[in-house]
Structure 1
Amino acid sequence: MVIELDRDRFIETMEEQAQIGATENNGLHRLTLSDEDKEIRDWFYDQMEAEGLDIRIDEFGNMFGRREGSDSEKGALLIGSHLDSQPYGGIYDGALGVIGALEFIRTLNDEGIQTKHPIEIVNWTNEEGSRYQPAMQGSGVWAGVHDIDNEYKKTDEEGNQFENELERIGYKGEVPAEPTENYEGYLELHIEQGPYLAEQEKDVGIVSGIVGFTWGAITYYGEADHTGPTPMRYRNDALVGAADVITQIRRIPSMLGERTVGSTGYVDAQPNSINTIPGEVTFTWGFRDPDDEVVQEAFDRVLFEAEAAADREGLDWEWEERMRASSVDFAQNNVEAISRAADKLGYDAMKIFSGAGHDATHTADIMDTAMVFAVSENGKSHTEEEFTSWDHCYKAANTLASAGLDLAQEMEVES
C-alpha cells in the first residue's frame, strides 16, 4: 500500500519551519540549544500535540511523539531526524526528515489509517555537532554510545555548558535518555548532501549504509615572536606546521580510495596578529570512507604527518580524536521496504551509501534501520546555497511515508 502526502501542506510546513532562524540569504542559522532551537522545538511540540500524539521529552532533550497501533504487543516504528542546523546552513538538512515524519502522521490521521505497530516521530538533539561536539550527540546518548554526564559537561566556544543551556531553553526532560519503549525499526529521511543522485538523474535514493569516519584535532605549540626582527632560522612557527599537515589532509584521500574524503574545517591561530609569529595553532581533521580499515589508515597517516611536521618546525604538539564511528550496513528488510515504496510510487530510485553521518548510525545498533535520500542539487549542503527542489523533497517524503506504512503494518525483527 502506498500513500501520498498533501503536497501543498507539506511545502507550507517546510516553509514555516524555515522561518525560525532564517538568514538574509534564504538559509538557516538554528544552532542547538539556542533561542532559535527553543522556538522550533516549541513549534514542533505544538504540531505533535495538534495531531494527538503522546509527547515525551527525555533528559537530553530528544523529543518523541507516539501514535499508538492496534496491537499493543508490537514494537514501534521510529521515524525522524533533527531540527538544529549548521551555522548559516540550509533549510533542508535535518528538517526535511522531521517534517516528512510529521506529515506522515498527519496523512494517517487524515485518512483514518490505523497501523498495527505504534509509530513514533523524533527530533534528535544536536545532530550537527557544530556548537557542541560530537555530532549525533542526542541519538548517541540515547543509544548508549555516549555517557550522558560527560555530554552534559561539554561547553561551546563561549564556555556555555550543555546541561545549563538545555535547562535554559526548558528542554531537559524527565524521561531517561534511553529506549524506554520497544522498538523494531527506524527510518530517516534526509537530503543526500552529495552529487550522486543528481548526476544519475534519479528521483530518490535508497540508502543501504553510512560511511565510517574519524574526527579529531591537533594543536601545535611553537614560539610567538616578532615577524620582523626574528631571523627565519630562529622561528618555531606553529602555523607553518599546521599548514603542512592541512595540505596532507587534502592529499591523503587520493592515496587511499575513490570514496575516501578528508578535510580541515576549523583552524584557530594565536595570537592571530599580522606582526606576530603564531605561537599556538589548533586545527581539525576529518576522514570518511565506507571501509573502516581505510578510515584507520587515514587516521594513522595524519598523525604520522603531524609528527613529521612538528619535527621539521621544532614544535611541541598534542592530538585528540573527538569522534570515531564505524561504517554501518542497514537492515535489508527496511532497505527493501524503501525500494518497494519507490517502485510503487513510480519513482526512479537507486541504492546509495551515505557519505555523511546521521542519527541512523546510532539507531542501527538497536533496531533495523534504513534511510531515504532526497536529491541535492549540485551536491551542496552545510551552506545557505543548499537546495533541493520541492518536487524532489515531496517524492522522497512520499517514499518515506509509504515505506513507513509498509513496515508499520507488517514489520518483524530479523532473526
Structure 2
Amino acid sequence: MKINAQRLLENLDRYAQIGKKGRIGVERIALSKEDKEARDLLKTQMTDAGLEVHIDQLGNMIGLRKGKSEGKPVAFGSHLDTVYSGGRYDGALGVLAGLELIHTLNDNHIETDKPLALVNFTNEEGVRFAPDMMGSHVYAGKADLSEILKSSAYDDPNETVGSCLKSIGYAGKMKPGAIEFDSFYELHIEQGPVLELEQINIGVVELVQGIYWTRYVIKGEANHAGTTPLYYRKDAGFASAKVQQFVGEYARKRDSRVLTTVGSVKFSPGAINIVPESAAFTLDVRSTDETLLKEAQKDIDAYINDVVASDKLLLEREEMVRFGPVRFPLAMTDSVQHATKSLGLTYKRMPSGAGHDAQMMASFCPSTMIFIPSVKGISHNVEEYSHDHDVENGANVLLAAVLGKSGIG
C-alpha cells in the first residue's frame, strides 16, 4: 500500500498559496491571518477525512482517528507556520503527509489496532513569539501555559500569544497534553545538504542537538563620530564587533563540535555619523554534547563580560531558549529504518542540526523523525525545495512506520 503522491503534492501546492512569497516560497507567520487560513483549511480537511478535531488552549490542533482499541493514539505531524520568507516544505510536509496517510487508510478501508492522531503544533518557528517549538514545548509539559500566553510579539509588545490566539479563533478549551500519545513521528526535510550529496533517500534521525539562545544588549554612549576621540568613546558597536569575531572563531577551532552564530545585530541610534549608544545582538549555540554546549556558553559569556568591563560599558542579558540534546529511543529509530528498508530505499542514521517538535515530544512519549533530502541544503529560504519523488518516499516511509507501530490486525 502506498500514498497517493499526486494528491499529496497538489495539497502541498494548495497550502503554499497561503502566504505565497516569491516563486515557490511561503511566509506564514504563527498566529497571523495566513496561519488562520491554513488552520481553517486543515480543520476542514481533517473533518472531511473523518477525524475528530480537538484544539487546545495554545491552539495545537489534534485530529483523532479511531482504532480497534481505545488505547493511546500513535501520533504524527509537525507545524504549518513558517519563518519570514520561508519555504513550502518546512513543517507543512509533516502535517500534510500525515493527512495523506489518513486519506490512504480511508481509501483502502483500513482500521488500525491503535487510534491515530494527526497534529499541527503552534508556533514551531518562534520568529514572532518566543520560545520556538512553543506548541510542543507546552504540550509536553515543559513550560507554563499561563506564562507562554503572556509572551509578547517581537514586532508589537501590545500583542501576546493569548490575544492573537483569540483574534484568529484558535484559543481552545482543552488542556495541552490532555490527549496522551503512544508515540510520535515527524516527517521533515533535512534542511541540510548531507542526504543529497551522499545520494541517500531517507535520514533516520537518531538525535537532535541542543540549542541555547541568548539576547544581549551592550550599552555605551552616543557621540559624534568626527569629534569624539577614541580614548573618550564608549562604543557599543565596536564592542559587539569584537564579540562577533570571538563567536565566529569559537566554532572554527580545529575539531570543534559546537556551532556558534550571532544571527542578528541592531545598533542604536543607527546613524552613519554617530558612535553607537547600544548594540543588541543574539547568540545561537548548538551541539550534540551538552557538556560542550554549556562550556561554549560559559566561555562566550566570560569574553563578553571582559569586553564590557574593559571598555567601561554596561550589559543586559536575556536567556531565550535552553534546550538540551535529545536522543530518540532505539525502538523508534529502528522502526523508521525497518520501514525504509521494506520500501527498498537507502538510509543514513544521522543527527538533526535544527530543533523540531519531535525534540520536545520525546519527553512526553517515544518519538523520532524521518528526513528527506533538501536540494542544495537550502531551507528557511523562499528557494527551499525537495524533489517530488523524495516527498513521496518520505510519506511512504511515514505510512509504513506508523502502520508498523499501530498495527492493522
Q: Taking structure 1 as the reference length, what is the TM-score of the superposition?
A: 0.96
SS of equivalent residue, structure 2 residue 223: coil
In structure 2, the CA distance between the partners of 1:256 and 1:213, relative to structure 1 (3 Å rule), is: farther
Q: Which residue of 1 aligns with 2:12?
A: 14
Q: Give the distance between the partners of 1:15 and 1:251, measured in 2 at CA.
A: 41
1:283-294 → structure 2 map (5 Å cutoff)? 283-294=281-292
The residue type paired with residue 103 of structure 1 is E
Partner of 1:201: 199
SS at match of 1:108: helix
Contact 2:72 2:182 in 1 (8 A): yes
Aligned residue among 298, 303, 306 for 1:305:
303
Counterpart of 2:217?
219
Question: Shift in Å at residue 25 of structure 1?
Answer: 3.5
Structure 2 counterparts to residues 256-271 of structure 1, below 5 A: 257-271=255-269
Provide the aligned C-alpha RMSD in A.
1.3
Task: Indicate if the aligned counterparts of 1:252 and 1:301 stay in contact, CA closer than 8 A.
Answer: no
Match of 2:171 in 1: 172
Residue-pair matches, total: 407
Q: Distance in 1 between matches of 2:398 and 2:199?
A: 19
The answer (yes or no) to whether the contact 2:22–2:382 under 8 Å persists in 1 is: no
Deviation for aligned residue 1:410:
8.0
Note if contact 1:61-1:166 (Cα within 8 Å) is conserved in structure 2.
Answer: yes
- Distance in 2, matches of 1:53 and 1:11, equals 21
Structure 2: gaps spanning 5 or more residues = none
Secondary structure of 1:220's match? strand
Aligned with 2:263: secondary structure? coil
SS in 1 for 2:107: helix
Question: Bigger shift: 58-67 or 231-240?
Answer: 231-240
Identity of aligned residues (%): 35
1:141 corresponding residue in structure 2: 138
2:37 matched residue in structure 1: 39
Aligned to 1:323: 321
User: Which residue of 55, 76, 79 maps to 2:76?
Assistant: 79
- How far the C-alpha of 1:26 sits from its partner, in A, is 2.0
Tell me whether 1:116 sits opposite 2:129 in the alignment. Answer: no
* Larger displacement relative to structure 2 (114-123 or 239-248): 239-248
Aligned 1:61-80 pairs, distance under 5 A: 61-72=59-70, 74-80=71-77
Alpha-carbon distance in 1 for matches of 2:408, 2:136: 26
Q: Does residue 151 in structure 1 map to residue 148 in structure 2?
A: yes
Per-residue deviation, residues 377-400 of structure 1 (Å, max 9, x unmatched)? 111111112111111111111111
Aligned with 1:214: secondary structure? strand
Residue 258 of structure 1: how far off its partner (Å): 4.7
Q: Letter of the 1:153 partner, please give it.
A: K
Q: CA deviation at 1:273?
A: 1.2
Amino acid in structure 2 at the alignment position of 1:91: R
Matches of 1:250 and 1:112, distance apart in 2: 55
CA apart distance, 1:312: 3.3
Gaps of 5+ in 1: none
Question: 2: CA distance between counterparts of 1:76 and 1:53?
Answer: 12
Partners of 1:326 and 1:372 in 2: CA distance: 20
1:128 has 2:95 as partner? no
SS in structure 2 opposite 1:382? coil
With normalisation by structure 2, the TM-score equals 0.97
Counterpart of 2:229 (choices 216, 228, 231) is 231
Aligned to 1:41, the other structure's residue is in SS state helix
The one-letter amino acid paired with 2:333 is: V
